[in-house]
């Protein structure tokens, strides 16, 4: 780990002030090279600093913000507001979250370990980095996420855990998180604070497709800080779930996962939201599969059709081709479970 | 790192004829280190933000097992390294040092966390509890420690302090209601000797005693 200045922010203005402008104001530099990094739970940042993947000159500790609104969970007529400094375990164990938005509680509960869930903030969780081995191992120069234009060692390397959807010719890294899929499925908004004030944005617009610039992972601009997630009260919130398939029964990233939010009308799909994890380069909404299901019953024919549609554009590599079939089966099982769950 | 892989586990106290064990020798060495740091600290107190170079040491005040410790640390120092290398509390073990094994599980404000992924500077003002703080004032073992011994819930013992800290939290969180639940909520603590069945038995047994 390289030496850094440790700065403790007592509140939001303090956090934003501690941000030092980057040399490159265009945002084109790799996000891992940002000179100032916010520190919340640290479960990604400290790990990647130890690996020398991230090398901030200044680390701004924002954990004191959990004493403000950014550390609170609020539930009411306007829906659910999750402060960005709420820890994963707090949201996973929250009664209103569990009963009204089971997909959120499950996506958090099935992630990481109890210790990490006590540490990791919700804001940091959605910004966690890919676990692509070649991104984490700096002995490989050829990683377009770390060294733009250097190539991608994963293309012909060990790519079993990597993405089949949303990839590009420059990067096949998979997005590792779970909670983000729940937010996508529930039409969540993300609240972002910056020097110019606070803005709201659909959460689905936060992560960028890798394209030819995989080093730029989000649409956040320099110094911006996620402060909350806003989840609307919509008819499909209660009939929602997260299904996660992985190599181990616990404490493991998804090989394939599905977040489902379903509005059923007497066995027919009035509306549905599908987000896929483990198989994609960014939190992935299967919009075409959703459209296919609307107005239709959840039966084997429709499930197969929806699953085929969701993976129509899949681009498997040598070791991860199994993810297409696994992803389809995961999606079908999740939809069937959602249709039959008691609410 | 001098003590990171010593495999001592919980088998401490094997004093030899001279009255010196490796552990007491190490403890004495650490005591000297702390004294030097404390002296330097009094002459060079700095607020973290005021450090001119990122290599300058920063003043860090920690509350460990109810006792205050004023340290002068490199900003990169994790809570685990502060405990082991600067305070001399070697109960928390350095396993993978990457947040995967759980051998360094400690509690911060009553919540179990990973000492290897938390900066020491970031836990100032919070109450840190380590395995050394679990034993009662009269030296009596915590029910969880007693249960681990009675159920033979370890072989080499290296993961044991982390297992026990995690297990105490698991019970307090209300997540130890069945063997399956214990297995799920203890999944962040790896045991290479695979003493898992006995660990589950110990946690369930201690839960009964902790709630009695």
| Distance between CA atoms of residues B16 and A261, nearest Å | 65
In a domain, A218, yes or no: no
What domains appear along chain B, each with residue ranges and CATH number?
A: 22-125 (3.10.20.30), 143-210 (1.10.150.120)
In a domain, A181, yes or no: no
Q: Are B188 and A114 in contact (CB under 8 A)?
A: yes
* Tens digits of residue pLDDT in A4-14: 999 999 999 99
Total number of domains in chain A: 2
- Collect all residues of chain B within an 8 Å Cβ-Cβ radius of residue A46: 78, 117-119
In a domain, A37, yes or no: yes
How much is the average pLDDT of B82-88?
98
Minimal CA separation from B17 to chain A, in Å: 41
Assess B118–A contact: CB distance below 8 Å, yes or no: yes
How many contacts, defined by CB atoms under 8 Å, are there between A and B? 95
**Closest-approach residue (CA) in chain B for A41:** B118
* Tens digits of residue pLDDT in B18-28: 444 555 544 44
Expressed as residue numbers, the domain containing A58 is 5-63
* Tens digits of residue pLDDT in A121-166: 999 999 999 999 999 999 999 999 999 999 999 999 999 999 999 9
Instruction: Return the CATH number at A28.
Output: 3.30.43
Q: Are B101 and B92 in contact (CB under 8 A)?
A: no
- Collect all residues of chain A within an 8 Å Cβ-Cβ radius of residue B186: 114
Instruction: Return the CATH number at A322.
Output: 3.30.390.50
| Distance between CA atoms of residues A191 and B46, nearest Å | 35
How much is the average pLDDT of A227-256?
97
Residue B139 has pLDDT above 60, yes or no: yes
DSSP H helices in B105-195? 143-150, 160-172, 179-185
In a domain, A286, yes or no: yes
Minimal CA separation from A234 to chain B, in Å: 31
In a domain, A42, yes or no: yes
Q: Among A63, A89, A105, which residue terminates a domain? A: A63
Q: Among A63, A78, A99, which residue terminates a domain? A: A63
* pLDDT bracket for residue A18 (50, 70, 90): confident
Assess B177–A contact: CB distance below 8 Å, yes or no: no
Ramachandran assignment for B182, one of left (phi > 0), alpha (psi -120 to 50 degrees), beta (any other)? alpha
């Amino acid at each position: 780990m390289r030496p850094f200045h440790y700065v403790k922010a007592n509140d939001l203005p303090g956090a934003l002030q501690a941000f030092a402008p980057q040399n490159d104001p265009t945002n084109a530099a790799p996000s891992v090279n940002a000179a100032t990094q916010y520190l919340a739970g640290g479960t990604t940042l400290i790990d990647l600093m130890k690996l020398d993947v991230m090398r901030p000159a200044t680390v701004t500790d924002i954990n004191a913000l959990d004493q403000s609104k950014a550390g609170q969970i609020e539930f009411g007529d306007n829906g659910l507001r999750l402060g960005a400094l709420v820890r994963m375990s707090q949201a996973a164990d929250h009664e209103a979250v569990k009963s009204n938005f089971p997909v959120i509680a499950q996506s958090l509960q099935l992630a990481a370990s109890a210790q990490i869930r006590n540490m990791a903030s919700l804001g940091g969780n959605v910004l966690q980095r890919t676990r692509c081995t070649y991104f984490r191992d700096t002995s490989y120069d050829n990683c377009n996420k770390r060294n733009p234009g250097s190539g991608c060692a994963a293309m012909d390397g060990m790519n079993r855990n990597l993405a089949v959807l949303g990839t590009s010719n420059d990067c096949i890294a998979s997005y590792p998180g779970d909670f983000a899929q729940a937010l996508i499925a529930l039409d969540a908004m993300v609240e972002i604070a910056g020097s110019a004030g606070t803005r709201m944005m659909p959460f689905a617009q936060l992560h960028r497709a890798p394209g030819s610039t995989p080093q730029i992972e989000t649409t956040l601009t320099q110094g911006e800080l996620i402060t909350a997630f806003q989840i609307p009260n919509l008819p499909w919130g209660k009939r929602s779930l997260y299904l996660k398939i992985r190599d181990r029964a616990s404490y493991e990233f998804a090989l394939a996962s599905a977040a489902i939010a379903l509005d059923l009308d007497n066995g027919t799909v009035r509306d549905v939201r599908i987000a896929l994890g483990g198989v994609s380069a960014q939190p992935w909404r299967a919009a075409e599969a959703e459209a296919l299901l609307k107005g239709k019953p959840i039966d084997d024919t429709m499930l197969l059709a929806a699953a085929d549609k969701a993976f129509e554009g899949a681009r498997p590599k040598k070791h991860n081709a199994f993810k297409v079939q696994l992803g389809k089966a995961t999606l079908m099982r999740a939809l069937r479970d959602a249709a039959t769950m008691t609410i | 790192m001098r003590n990171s892989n010593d495999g001592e586990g919980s088998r401490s106290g094997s004093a030899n004829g001279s009255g010196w064990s490796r552990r007491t020798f190490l403890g004495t060495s650490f005591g000297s280190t702390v004294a030097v740091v404390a002296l330097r600290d009094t002459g060079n107190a700095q607020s973290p933000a005021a450090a001119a170079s990122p290599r300058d040491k920063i003043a860090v005040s920690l509350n460990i097992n109810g006792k205050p410790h004023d340290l002068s640390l490199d900003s990169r120092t994790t809570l685990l390294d502060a405990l082991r290398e600067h305070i001399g509390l070697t109960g928390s073990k350095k396993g993978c040092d990457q947040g995967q094994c759980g051998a360094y599980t400690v509690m911060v404000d009553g919540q179990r966390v990973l000492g290897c992924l938390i900066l020491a500077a970031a836990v100032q003002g919070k109450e840190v509890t380590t395995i050394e703080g679990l034993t009662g004032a009269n030296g009596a073992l915590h029910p969880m420690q007693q249960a681990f011994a009675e159920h033979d819930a370890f072989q080499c013992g290296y993961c044991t302090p982390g297992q026990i800290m995690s297990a105490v939290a698991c019970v307090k969180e209300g997540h130890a209601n069945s063997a399956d639940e214990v297995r799920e909520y203890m999944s962040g603590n790896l045991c290479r000797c695979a003493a898992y069945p006995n660990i589950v038995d110990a946690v369930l047994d201690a839960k009964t005693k902790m709630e009695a």
